[in-house]
Every structure is written in C-alpha cells, then in structure tokens.
Amino acid sequence: MKFLHTSDWHIGKVLKGRSRLDEQRAVLREIVQVTRDHRVDAVLVAGDLYEASAPSADAQQLLVQALLTLRRTGAEVIAIAGNHDHAPTFDAYRPLMASAGITLAGSVRVAADGGVVKFTARSTREPVTVALLPFLSQRYAVRAAQLVSTTPREAATGYGRLVRNLLAALAAGFRDDAVNLVMAHLMVAGGKFGGGERSAQSFLEYWVPADAFPPEAHYVALGHLHRRQSLSAPCPVHYCGSPITLDFGEQDDPSMVLVVEAGVGAPARIVAEVPIGSGRRLRTVRGTVEELTRRADSLGDDYLRVLLCEPARAGLRQEVQRLLPNALEVRIDPEFAAPVHTAGSSAPADGVERSPAELFHAYCVTRNLVDERVEALFARLHDQVTTAHA
C-alpha cells in the first residue's frame, strides 16, 4: 500500500506582515494533485496544520476544504494536532470530521478511544494500523512535582520515558499481518532544525530518544521539524518537512511531501520525495543599493531579506523597498554595522564642552549614520523643545 506523509502546513502564517494564504491554497492544491497522481491509500498529516491556536475564519475554511478535497480522492485522511494547533478544538470537531470520513486527533488517547486507527488499503486490501500521538506538552507529560524537583536533563528524561511508554501502549495492538504505522508530532533527539523554528516552539528540553519508537512499526511519520530528514532508529523514522518555506532561516531547505510504500512483513520505503513549488521562494540578498539596482530584474517574485553593504542613512529602507517591493526585511549587513560601545570599550570623548548638535553628530558617526538631513531635523526639534521650555 502507499501513503502520503506531510506536516507543518502552518495555514494562516504571516511573514513580516504579508499574508501567505493564497500561497498556502496553491500548495494544498499541489498536495491534492500528488495524492491523485500517486493514487495513495492514505494521507497522513503529522501536525501543525495551523500557524496559530486561534486561526482566522479564512484559515479554517482553507483547511476544511483541503481535508475534504483530499478525502474525495478516495484516500483515508488522518491528521493530528501539533504544538501550534489547539487540541481541544480538534477534538470538538472530531465527530463532524468523522462523518466526512476524516480522522482528526487533538489530544493523546488510549488505543480503544481513537488512539489507534484501522482501515483496509483500497489498493492492496491489506489491513493498516496507525498509532496516533498528537503533540504532548511538557506540562502534561512532566508532572509539576518533577519540574520543581528535577533538573532540566532529568525532566527531559522523564518526558522521553513517558512518551516511550505511550508509544508502547499504542503499538500493543500492532499485528504481524498488518501494515503498522506511527504518526507523531514531537522533537526526536538528533533531529535538525530547518532554521525558522523558534526555540520556544521546539521545546528542546523535552525531546524523545530515537529508540523510543516500537521496532514493529513499518514507518514513523513525524511532524514538528521543518527540514526533511531521516533518523537512525529501530524502524524507519522520517520528518517530511514543511511543504512551504516558512521563514528566511529555512530558505535553503527544499519543500516537499513524501510518498511511501509499505507492505506486510517488510520495512516501508520512500518511493518519491515530491517537490512542492507553489510557495514563493525566500531569498537573502546582499549588496549596495547600486548593486541591487542592477540585479533587481533577476530577483523575480521572491520574498527578500536585504542586507545592505553600505553605511546607514536616512531614507535608505524606503529607497530599497521602492526598488524591491518584495523586500520584507531590510537591514545593514553586520560587516557594515557600527560597533556597539560597551562598558570598558573606547567611546567618544567626554561631551561636557560640546553642544547638543555636536554630541548628536558624534553619536551618528559611531553608528555610521552621517546624514545632513537627520542632523538638521535634530537641530529643529532641539530648537522647538528648548524654546517651548524657555
């Protein structure tokens, strides 16, 4: 049988103030097409379907439409909550989604109460068992007493042990004559960040060892890390990565979904890493304004992070954004940034004998911001303030 492994859609994600809903809609259309083209028996969505726990109505509508469209391909559709999703809301909509043939799991459940999903593959008629482990917060997994009385390392060990026990309990129903799968949203030791995840979202203190997964599993479909990667474990363990580049830190990571083939009695194998190209490319460019002017036509429709290789001056950001409308972030390259004076370092000479205008000029020099217009504006503001208080 074949299934599609995807995760970390982050529907509703806004990048530097730009909505990406249209891109996300196009990405999901691509995923639906891959599902049709490969005639997969199931689509596994391993968490972080939304960007926020309280998604907008437009984001919710897009997700519901995508899940229903995937289901209309004839594939089983199974999705779990990630750390960005609101697990109780997923559980509230679980019965409604079930009526459409879609399995939605928000919180961890025992096998008999939906923690394990069983179906028959339409292509091979093989029985399939999927153990579901939505994101498990440390507040639930590690008791308050442990957090208070143990070190972070001990707390992590406790979390990993609890997850191992949960996985073992869910896998107790695995059968020798079935394809046995695990889908989870968590951080596995040895996994590498895509570059865009913030540490607060990744819960580095609460990781799970790779050997926590049951060796009876034919495949472990993971979500949470945005970079495509495989981990050494007693069974095949894979992160599929995000199908859209979410942050400039991930700009070099390919966006894809995985098509996996599994059969009774043998480990699963990935038959296709299908590129997803509907999301706009994120790119970091460096240069002076003059250099960027010459390159402007070659940058296309990419979202840009611009690092300027020249000193700061008034109006520089606006000048770059007029030149490059898709420049979402504009800043001075660190090599050209002025050094920050700290205690004990050399600093401008004592300013007791200098006027406010001279002091301001000296400050601008230390920041590589020498601009007559800025200094003239400072002089006018200073005159207004001192006149008002005369």
Q: How far apart are CA 309 and CA 287, in angstroms?
A: 5
Based on the domain organization, do 91 and 146 belong to the same domain?
yes
Q: End of a domain among 337, 359, 380? A: 337
Shared domain check, 269 and 136: yes
> Does residue 239 form part of some domain?
yes
What is the 8-class DSSP label of residue 96? H
Q: How far apart are the first and last CA of the chain?
A: 85
Q: What is the pTM of this model?
A: 0.83
230: CATH: 3.60.21.10
Cα dihedral 360→365→367→369 (10° resolution): 90
Q: What is the DSSP string of 367-382?
A: TT---HHHHHHHHHHH
Residues 11 and 149 reside in one and the same domain: yes
pLDDT per position as a tens digit, 274-320: 999 999 999 999 999 999 999 999 998 999 999 999 888 888 889 99
Residues 285 and 261 in one domain: no
Residue type, 190: G
Is residue 342 included in any domain, yes or no? no
Domains in the chain, number: 3
Distance CA 361, CA 369 (A): 9
Domain end position, chosen among 298, 313, 337: 337
Report yes or no: 253 and 226 within 8 Å, Cβ to Cβ: yes
Q: Are residues 56 and 188 in the same domain?
A: yes
Indicate whether 221 and 317 sit together in one domain.
Answer: no
Average pLDDT over residues 104-127: 94
* 258 in a structural domain: yes
Say yes or no: 271 and 378 in one domain.
no
Query: Do 140 and 52 share a structural domain?
Result: yes
In whole angstroms, how far apart are CA 64 and each of 3, 41, 69, 85, 167? 20, 20, 9, 14, 29
**pLDDT tens, residue by residue, 145-193:** 354 456 665 656 688 888 888 899 999 989 999 999 999 999 998 888 8
Give me the domain span that covers residue 371. 349-390
CB atoms within 10 A of CB 163: 23
Range 350-367 average pLDDT: 71
Q: Where are the alpha helices (DSSP H) in the chain?
A: 21-38, 57-72, 87-99, 138-141, 144-149, 152-170, 199-202, 289-295, 316-323, 356-366, 372-388
Q: Does residue 343 lie within any of the structural domains?
A: no
pLDDT tens-place string over residues 43-96: 999 999 999 999 999 999 999 999 999 999 999 999 999 999 999 999 999 999
Q: Is the Cβ–Cβ distance between 5 and 236 less than 8 Å?
A: no
Tell me whether residue 380 is in a domain. Answer: yes
Burial class (CB in 10 A: 0-12, 13-18, 19+), 195: middle
CA distance 68 to 240: 22
